[in-house]
Amino acid sequence: MYVEKEIAQANLSVPESLTSALAELLNPKHETKPALDALLLPEGRATIRAKAGTKGASTKVSSFEKPELKEAIVELEGESAYPRPNGEDYFARKWGDFTDVEVLKKSRELGQYVLLYGVPGTGKTAMVEAAFPDDLYTILGSGDTEVADLVGGYVQTPSGNFEWVDGVLTRAASEGKVLLIDEIGLIDPKVMSIVYGLMDGRRELVVTANPERGTVKAKEGFYVVGATNPNVAGVRLSEALLSRFTVQAEMTTDWSLAKKLGVPASAVVASQNLSKKMESGEVSWSPQFRELLAFRDIAKSFGTKFAIQNLLASAPELDRPVASDVFGRVFGEIMLPAKI
Ligand SMILES: Nc1ncnc2c1ncn2[C@@H]1O[C@H](COP(=O)(O)OP(=O)(O)OP(=O)(O)O)[C@@H](O)[C@H]1O
Ligand SMILES: [Mg+2]
């Protein structure tokens, strides 16, 4: 849990003016402390881990008003649904007194950058796509991501000449769009340092590889969201980068939403049970949102027992006995990992 440690250690200085700005943003009643406390959900579904001010020049608080949820088009038993670019709906989740999508949009207005972290398949990417469906660029980070992937580089044209092509960060900055840096923790911290100037008061990017491109000033609207799974080997985030993400939350599986979306209640109960065992260190795995949705679909076609055995077969080998026991108890029948 290298990132968790780093996050905990990050020495975040919080200019009071900006703390109250965020509090005001997230609490229309101007109750500073309760507003921040409200973001700590008792269920632990989304937890603000750290906050700090940025020197963001675009921070506008005084004109802030609670925006209308114009985009909400579907209601699923009280859930707001936002269409994602792939046509699927994202059902907003609660984050303090707001929906997660609202918090993302408002944080963009304030120039407070959001970092989402959590185990795979909990909806990090889906949430950002739902919040910014029309002006979002995404880069999937890895250990091989280079500065050129972000800033740009020269590519050879059919005529043999070399032409400069902006990278995704340069495009997002010059067009005032949102950049989701997915799996940000896998990118070499030295590479990530290229975003520092854009994410602080300077709001500019110096393109050293192409002096003609010069210094790119971030257009209004430019915004960065980071997402990472802290448990993956090799994840590293520098303190300088962490301190620029002033709103941080862990995304976990929303069990009640899983049920509302048609995941059999017993499968949810068994998964919650395993999740508790994971927290206490008894197992290293428990089914998350993505697996539960797949469970739902597989159960529809092949039957519930098939889906359980399939899920157990996808558990890490060491955890299979405990997982089989938990599912067996909940479903009242011996369950074993699928074998053919
Ligand atoms: N709130 C939600 N409403 C509807 N579908 C959701 C929601 N959250 C997650 N999903 C679905 O769950 C699946 C996993 O979501 P997503 O890919 O966003 O997870 P992730 O946290 O980005 O995972 P990874 O760490 O592997 O990148 C997707 O199929 C997505 O559509
Ligand atoms: Mg993702």
Which ligand is located closest to the Cα atom of residue 122? 1
Ligand 1 atom with the shortest distance to the CA of 251: 21
With a 6 Å cutoff on the Cβ, whether 95 touches ligand 1 is no
pLDDT at residue number 319: 97
Flag whether pLDDT at 163 surpasses 50. yes
With a 6 Å cutoff on the Cβ, whether 290 touches ligand 1 is yes
Given a contact cutoff of 8 angstroms between Cβ atoms, the answer to whether 253 and 122 are in contact is yes
pLDDT digits (tens, 9 = 90+) for 216-265: 999 999 999 999 998 888 899 999 999 999 999 999 999 999 999 999 99
pLDDT at residue number 77: 56
Flag whether pLDDT at 38 surpasses 50. no
Tell me how far the alpha carbon of residue 118 lies from the centroid of ligand 2, in angstroms. 10
> What is the three-class DSSP state of 204?
strand
With a 6 Å cutoff on the Cβ, whether 91 touches ligand 1 is yes
pLDDT at residue number 290: 95
The reported pTM is: 0.77
Q: Which is it for the CA torsion 294, 295, 297, 303, positive or negative?
A: positive
- CB burial of residue 318 (10 Å; 0-12, 13-18, 19+): exposed
CATH 3.40.50.300 placement within the chain: 81-250
pLDDT digits (tens, 9 = 90+) for 49-99: 323 233 222 222 222 232 333 333 334 555 689 999 899 999 999 999 999
* Tokens linked to 100: 């997660």
CATH number attached to the domain at 81-250: 3.40.50.300
Lowest mean pLDDT among 29-38, 173-182, 190-199, 303-312: 29-38
